[in-house]
Amino acid sequence: MAAFLLLCLLFLVQDRTDAADGSPYCSYKAQPGTCCQRFRLIVNRDSHVCLKASSSYNSKHGPNRAALFETDNYGQPSGGIGGWAAKTNNANQWIQVGFDSSRRVTGVLLQGRGGPTTGDQWVTSFRVLFSDDEKVFYSTPVIEGTFDRDTVAHRYFDHPITARYFRINPVTWHGHITLRFDLLGCDV
């Protein structure tokens, strides 16, 4: 069993562009091209998903601001920044998606802080931590992040990860730990 877990953890992450028709391209070996739907975690905000973070800079920088393409509307009464921002910059920060049951995740989409007048803030490398019980987490190797605040970095796993909880754990960053993201995959 331990050898099996070790093999499961020793997968590589590859950068792939979308297919010509705009649909995601998955590089994992089992059933390529399937199980690559965006979960649209923030937009859907249904009872099947719970978002939380290790910290937030303040209430306008919370996990609910982490949707892909979210922009700054800081001046509005219910507004916030374009992205989740950690309170402090260290490698112990994370944003977590908790599902009501296990999901198969095949990749991550990642952006930096959104908005035309914001500071340059983005995650340059990260790990994905995953768990079935929210107590014991396993980790991917370090994955290359993005190189600016607006470009969507597509990062696909060679093998899907099936778990209930997924954390994006920034390892390095530019300016400040701030990100927008989504997970790719499907129901189990």
Look-up: residue for tokens 């987490």? 137
Instruction: Provide the token pair at 145.
Output: 């992040």
3-state class (DSSP) for residue 161 = strand
Q: 164 burial class (0-12, 13-18, 19+ CB within 10 angstroms)? A: middle
Rounded distance, CA 118 to CA 136, Å? Answer: 36
* pLDDT, tens digit (0-9, with 9 covering 90-100), for 52-72: 999 999 888 899 889 898 887
Question: Which DSSP letter does residue 21 get?
Answer: T
Q: Is the pLDDT of residue 43 over 70?
A: no
pTM score = 0.80
Rounded distance, CA 160 to CA 151, Å? Answer: 24
H runs (alpha helix) in the chain? 2-9, 41-44
Rounded distance, CA 155 to CA 143, Å? Answer: 8
Look-up: residue for tokens 């303040």? 58
DSSP letters of 138-150? EEPPPEE--SSSS
Written as one letter, the residue type at 168 is I
* pLDDT, tens digit (0-9, with 9 covering 90-100), for 133-169: 999 999 999 999 999 999 999 999 989 999 999 999 9
Instruction: Provide the token pair at 138.
Output: 């396993």
* Number of domains the chain is built from: 1
Q: What is the CATH number of the domain that holds 182?
A: 2.60.120.260
Q: Which domain holds residue 58?
A: 2-187
* pLDDT, tens digit (0-9, with 9 covering 90-100), for 77-110: 666 788 999 999 999 999 999 999 999 999 999 9
Rounded distance, CA 130 to CA 62, Å? Answer: 21
* pLDDT, tens digit (0-9, with 9 covering 90-100), for 12-29: 344 333 443 344 444 444
